[in-house]
Chains A and B, each alone.
Chain A
Amino acid sequence: DTGVSQNPRHKITKRGQNVTFRCDPISEHNRLYWYRQTLGQGPEFLTYFQNEAQLEKSRLLSDRFSAERPKGSFSTLEIQRTEQGDSAMYLCASSLARDNEKLFFGSGTQLSVL
């Protein structure tokens, strides 16, 4: 499978714990996006990278959220001191910069904070 891969698919954690999600984009794609989606809503943009550079961050991304893409390949999204309001589907997408209207999404990581 050469699509966008996200791990884990599901994560249940207790409030106050830290969690980390991983995204492996399509190999030749140099842009990588993180979105968050809650039930009944469309995906909300969080941040995106071009290669290893983080080019834009949403105001939704509080100080507890950090994303990295250290070698311009896979990316991680960490949430520190999780809150119940962080419960959502976290989606990763990738694209080629020269073709960036076509985002390819992974199946997401469903986070439940108890």
Chain B
Amino acid sequence: DAKTTQPTSMDCAEGRAANLPCNHSTISGNEYVYWYRQIHSQGPQYIIHGLKNNETNEMASLIITEDRKSSTLILPHATLRDTAVYYCIVSGYGNKLVFGAGTILRVKS
């Protein structure tokens, strides 16, 4: 599975959009981009995933560049409860998920 690179930490003001970048330059054609987050003292929580096209659900939007070498997770109106570690994972369908260190997002009032 391709490796990902994420910033160690980011800050975001409450009510503003949080844009979390992820680089995955070695992604192969059949690999998906997954995003999970982990709030303190809880297990990771699925957010969204995509292959080529941009995706949106009730939690977030996922923007994947045309060459698929990078992506951005967008939380449109961040709240204090969105403070968490966000993991970007690239994996083939049906393969186990390999987590990196993720990005610590701090939402501040």
Contact (Cβ within 8 A) A43 B101:
no
Contact (Cβ within 8 A) A42 B87:
yes
Give Cα A91 to B97, complex, Å. 13
Chain B: residues with Cβ within 8 Å of the partner, total of: 22
- Is A108 an interface residue when CB atoms closer than 8 A count as contact? yes
Which residue of chain A has its CB nearest to the CB of B95? A100
Contact (Cβ within 8 A) A102 B46:
yes
Secondary structure at the B interface, as helix, strand, loop or mixed, is loop
Q: Contact partner of B43 among A4, A45, A101, A102, CB < 8 A?
A: A4
Chain A: residues with Cβ within 8 Å of the partner, total of: 22
Contact (Cβ within 8 A) B96 A56:
yes
Give Cα A33 to B85, complex, Å. 20
- Is B44 an interface residue when CB atoms closer than 8 A count as contact? yes
Contact (Cβ within 8 A) A105 B100:
no
Q: Contact partner of B96 among A48, A91, A106, CB < 8 A?
A: A48
Known contacts A42-B99, A44-B99; is A101 also within 8 Å of B93 by CB? yes
Q: How far is the CB of A54 from chain B (nearest CB, A)?
A: 13
Contact (Cβ within 8 A) B99 A107:
no
Contact (Cβ within 8 A) A45 B32:
no
For residue A103, which residues in chain B have a CB less than 8 angstroms away from its CB?
A: 36, 44, 46, 97
For residue B49, which residues in chain A have a CB less than 8 angstroms away from its CB?
A: 101-102
- Is A2 an interface residue when CB atoms closer than 8 A count as contact? no
For residue A41, which residues in chain B have a CB less than 8 angstroms away from its CB?
A: 101
Contact (Cβ within 8 A) A91 B43:
yes
Known contacts A45-B96, A48-B96, A56-B96; is A106 also within 8 Å of B101 by CB? no
A-B contact pairs, 8 of them (CB 8 A): A33-B96, A35-B99, A45-B96, A48-B96, A100-B94, A102-B49, A103-B97, A107-B42
